[in-house]
Amino acid sequence: MTSNGSQGRQLLIATHNDGKLREFVTLLRDVPFSLTSLLEQGVSEEVEETGTTFQDNAIIKAQAYSQLTGLLTLADDSGLEVDALGGDPGVYSARYGSEGLNDEGRVDLLLHNMRGVPWNLRSARFRCVIAIAAPNIEPVTVEGTVEGIIQYEPAGDGGFGYDPVFLLPQKGLTTAQLPMDEKNSLSHRGQAAQKAAALFRDWPAS
């Protein structure tokens, strides 16, 4: 995927989500590893997310894919927490409603479930937990969050998932309306990836 002058040290980005993969490749472009993907490693298995927290699921995925490939592995679990919905969709963000819904369908369902919620009660946050695992090494986790408001209608063509309805008040824009570099500097995934990148810069050679 990219060499980064890593002299053969590989880091597996363990996601089948193309949007996440593109973001991580950009966010981790300066780490001293060669980034590789599940597709490149020929891994089609979907690890079941049985945890009840983002941290649980991130660790489950990182450990499972590390064991499958023997590689140092980064996995994340992330999602949207809406206060008016009691924190939903939370860990079920990617499966909100049903497995058959696409991103647009999940956004529509979210807005349907928030009908009648006034602006001052539409607070929400994106949360991301990254887990880093390797065979025979205890996993390490880092976290990032960003606060926002769920607006009434989608806006913007960038990003993915719930980005079109997640408004950043300080910007007056949804995360789908931000240029990618700006989104990465502010986002929950960007914050967590910066912390992970700092760990990788000091990662042991073996």
At 136 the pLDDT is 83
**Mean pLDDT lowest for which of 22-26, 61-65, 88-92?**
22-26
Whole-number mean pLDDT of the chain?
92
Locate tokens 């999602």: which residue?
Answer: 79
HSE at residue 2, side-chain half, CA atoms within 13 A, is 15
pTM, two decimals, is 0.88
Q: Are residues 77 and 61 in contact, defined by beta-carbon separation less than 8 angstroms? A: yes
Average pLDDT over residues 60-70: 96
- CA dihedral for 155, 156, 157, 162, sign (positive or negative): negative
- Enumerate the H helices of 121-187 as residue ranges: 180-186
- Please name the fold of domain 10-201: Maf protein (3.90.950)
Catalytic residues: 77
At 138-182, the pLDDT tens digits run 999 999 999 999 999 999 998 889 999 999 999 999 999 999 889
Question: What are the CA-CA distances from residue 60 to residues 144, 164, 184 (Å)?
Answer: 18, 29, 25
Domain ranges of the chain: 10-201
The residues, any chain, with a CB within 8 Å of residue 115's CB and separated by 6 or more, are: none
Q: Scanning the structure block, which residue is given the tokens 């649980």? A: 56
